[in-house]
Amino acid sequence: MAMEESTDNVFVDYRAWLGEQTMPPGKRKALLAGLEVFAANGYDGASTQQIADAAGISQATIFKYFKTKRELLLAILEPIVNNMFGLYQASFIAGIPAGDDLQAIVNYIVTDRLHFLQVNADAVIILLTQVLTKADLRQQGLSKLMNPNQDNGAAIRGVQIMQHLQATGKVRPEMTAADIVRTIIGQLGVYFLQRYLVSPDVPVDTMRDINVLETTIYNGLAVHPESAGLDA
């Protein structure tokens, strides 16, 4: 059953989704506790004993429903990938500025998606680390995220807008749909990984970072790149 509303917080929405599902109490407790323990410790730092303790159940109960720790993690991640991507995309798409102002559109994309990534940093890190190493999740997750030809409303709508801007002479005509998606997601993804996974303790100037991202993405897309927005 897919969720009908979203709070833009992956963990909150997952708990709500889980509450709608019919399952044994022990399985539900294992999933809820697994979510908390994986978020706090990461996959490698979490143990089934920690999850059992947090859930108030035995390890035997966990293994009754999930043969391995990884199977438990996949049971948490798969509904997020399959049921929730569309919800988060819908509110994003609705807020895209109308008109032909490429800079305004880029600024909206950067600020909106960075906010979403910041709110869901723990969930995104868990999802990314597993998606990048597990073929089944990679097929479901990255394909939906990166490929505008699949069931990805945000990518499809974004490419439609950019293609319209190409027709009006605002976006470089040689860029393909995949080029456009990579230009935007590549910049945001690398920034997120650098800030939250690679160097989480390094002080940052968020407003400056947003400014740089907006300018870099704009210049990557625009027919007439500018340095507007970057302080000298």
40-75 pLDDT tens trace: 888 888 999 999 999 999 999 999 999 999 899 889
72-130 pLDDT tens trace: 988 988 887 776 666 677 778 888 898 889 999 999 999 999 998 888 887 888 777 76
Q: What DSSP line would sit under the chain, residue for residue? A: ---S---S-HHHHHHHHHHTS---HHHHHHHHHHHHHHHHHHHHH--HHHHHHHHTS-HHHHHHH-SSHHHHHHHHHHHIIIIIHHHHHHHHHHTSPPSS-HHHHHHHHHHHHHHHHHHTHHHHHHHHHHHTT-HHHHHHHHHHHH-TTSS-HHHHHHHHHHHHHHHTTSB-TT--HHHHHHHHHHHHHHHHHIIIII-TTS---HHHHHHHHHHHHHHHHBSS---TTS--
All structural domains of the chain, each given as residue ranges with its CATH number in brackets, are: 1-87 (1.10.10.60), 95-226 (1.10.357)
Question: Structure pTM?
Answer: 0.75
158-203 pLDDT tens trace: 778 888 899 999 999 999 888 988 899 899 999 998 998 888 889 9
